[in-house]
Homo-oligomer: A and B are copies of this chain.
Amino acid sequence: MAKQPKNAISPRRDEDYSQWYQEVVKAADLAENSPVRGCMNIKPWGYALWENLVDNLDARFKKTGVKNAYFPIFIPLRFLEQEAEHVEGFAKECAVVTHHRLEKGPQGGLVPAGPLTEPYVVRPTSETIIGEAFSRWVNSWRDLPVLINQWANVVRWEMRTRIFLRTSEFLWQEGHTAHATEAEARERTLQMLAVYEDFAKNEMALPVLTGEKTPAERFPGAVSTYCIEAMMQDRKALQAGTSHFLGQNFARSSQIRFQSDQGVDELAWTTSWGVSTRLVGGLIMTHADDDGMVMPPAVASAHVVIMPIAKDPAVREGVMEYAQSLKRELEAQTFHGRNLVVEMDDRDAGGRAWDWIKKGVPVRVEVGPRDMAENAVFTGRRDTPGHKKESMPRADFVAKITDILGEIQDNLYRRALAFREEHSVKLDGRDEFYDFFTPENPETPGIHGGFALSGWCGDPACEAKIKEDLTVTIRLVPISGEKEACPCVLCGKPSEGRVVFAKSY
């Protein structure tokens, strides 16, 4: 019997995927559950990753003419009520502020006091409060388009939470734009979807599919919702970003009106689009392995860790100087427009290399007296099996580091893409579709299923039945590529093309 290699993370993915995820988050020191129900503490190593996602996306938004602004965290109840579908969608998960101070209660402890005449909701999203501002900012066609983004925290009181993927409070960006014409608003919706797609693929190494949500899966109040969807390593789908064409629904409820260039009073057309700290969860579930986190270099909290071997006081000073000058040479270089971030770990600790493997740093370097004598470095890559290490002339390493990072970045993308393709299948028969999504043993469902590319007749009843039977939903209806006519996988009626069915987070 082959010897089972010992992994840093227990359980392994194939043993208990959900627990594996929790253990990776913990071992990589990315975040932790907080004592506040459903909320997390994002720790420095996890927050640095989020900052890199933020900086990169922010620059991409600004390039398209979007400007940042900030709106209140509290939304008056009457604002939320203006759009019927919208309030319906969020009423069940709102944190409500009802008082504005604390007082000594009858038992001596503090109790809420100073009741508000109108309660506030902690924003679950900001269409209504930003819509109110737009209604004042926009008077003429000359004031359009308005292109605004906000980086903010939002609260949705989720019943079942999972760190990064679904938390009661999360960090996100929400873009909100208003336009004079439907065509321009639709174009902006798809433009931002394309920004997300490019960002996910090229920076996060996430192979995402893009498409449109069915009416049942739309954002409450939207006319069309578009999304990027990625496959996690348990073959479930993760919605990683959405872009909504809101038509005139919110313009009507917020009264965003303008005088057109023809002198006619018109309602504006609006969009909104967002990604959140959920992206970090998607990154972990896509790239991490049984030894812990794996960070794509373009967004990694650090690119390289240098570990000097300098226990012996006789060589310590020399080795440290060798390591420090190497650090400076690396930090002077850039990868994907960002200066290399290099950690120096001079702890005299046996487990330090494993610490950095679990944290997912792309490249590890050890330098000791022997490397120094040979003007060499001893390097290891996070994306290679067994964490194989090799010695390399120092000058070569410095000259090649951005190529190495580029290879790792490409490798991670290719690996994730191959995984998705391996588990995406065209299924036309109802039985094979049901088999595909049904675990062999329902007691220990394990990892099964994937993306089923199948027909759907367009009837919400077929969609609902599949959801009820299998907890499988239509993740998206493709908006590009060739359409392949096929039967609806449930009722057999004709479908114009294939849609993507999957279980999801």
Binding site for B on A (CB under 8 A): 32, 34-36, 39-44, 47-48, 50-51, 67-77, 79-81, 87, 91-103, 109-112, 114, 119-122, 129, 132-133, 148, 152-153, 155, 157, 169, 171
A51 to B55, CA, bound (A): 12
Contact in complex: B97, A41 (CB < 8 Å): no
Contact in complex: B94, A39 (CB < 8 Å): no
Contact in complex: A92, B96 (CB < 8 Å): no
Contact in complex: A157, B100 (CB < 8 Å): yes
Copies in the complex: 2
Contact in complex: A109, B97 (CB < 8 Å): no
A253 to B50, CA, bound (A): 31
A188 to B134, CA, bound (A): 44
Q: With CB as the reference atom, state the residue of chain B lying closest to A118.
A: B37
* Distance of A340 from chain B, by nearest CB (Å): 15
> A95 and B92 in contact (CB under 8 A), knowing A36-B74, A68-B51?
no
Contact in complex: A97, B95 (CB < 8 Å): yes
Contact in complex: A153, B73 (CB < 8 Å): yes
Q: Lowest 5 A-B CB distances belong to which pairs?
A: A44-B67, A39-B72, A42-B70, A96-B99, A91-B102
> A95 and B100 in contact (CB under 8 A), knowing A69-B42, A169-B72?
yes
> A122 and B94 in contact (CB under 8 A), knowing A69-B41, A110-B81?
no
B residues less than 8 Å from A95 (CB atoms): 74, 97, 99-100, 120
A35 to B128, CA, bound (A): 11
A120 to B121, CA, bound (A): 13
> A93 and B101 in contact (CB under 8 A), knowing A51-B68, A69-B44?
yes
Name the residue among A81, A92, A96, A121 with the largest chain B CB count within 10 angstroms.
Answer: A96
Can you sample 11 A-B contacts with CB below 8 Å?
A34-B72, A34-B129, A36-B120, A41-B71, A44-B67, A73-B122, A92-B101, A96-B97, A96-B100, A97-B97, A122-B122
Name the residue among A51, A67, A70, A121 with the largest chain B CB count within 10 angstroms.
Answer: A70
Contact in complex: B121, A102 (CB < 8 Å): yes
Contact in complex: B112, A74 (CB < 8 Å): no
Contact in complex: B87, A110 (CB < 8 Å): yes
> A72 and B36 in contact (CB under 8 A), knowing A91-B103, A99-B96, A99-B98?
yes
> A98 and B112 in contact (CB under 8 A), knowing A91-B103, A120-B36, A148-B44?
yes
Contact in complex: B67, A48 (CB < 8 Å): yes
